[in-house]
Amino acid sequence: MAMHERRITCPHCWELIDVLIDPTESQMYTEDCFVCCRPILIHAKIDGEHIDVDVAQEDLGF
């Protein structure tokens, strides 16, 4: 299955960035913001066709 592109808001600098979500399973991972280079904790919850994405500052968590 193709990766799903999702636009999120960086919790550090509030810029919009695009991340790729694997739609086959729920996942939590860290990705550096392309704009401010700080780590973003990304939690993607996969529920059938529905993909719900939460983001948080890595040092704060959810």
Site residues, Zn ion (CB under 5 A): 10, 12-13, 33, 35-36
Closer Cβ to Zn ion, 9 or 24, answer by number: 9
Closer Cβ to Zn ion, 10 or 41, answer by number: 10
Residue from 23, 27, 7 nearest 15 by CA: 7
Bridge partner list, 4: 21
Report residue 34 as tokens.
């392309």
Q: For residues 24 and 18, what is the distance between their CA atoms, to the nearest angstrom? A: 18
Closest distance between Zn ion and the C-beta of residue 17, in Å? 7
Closest distance between Zn ion and the C-beta of residue 22, in Å? 22
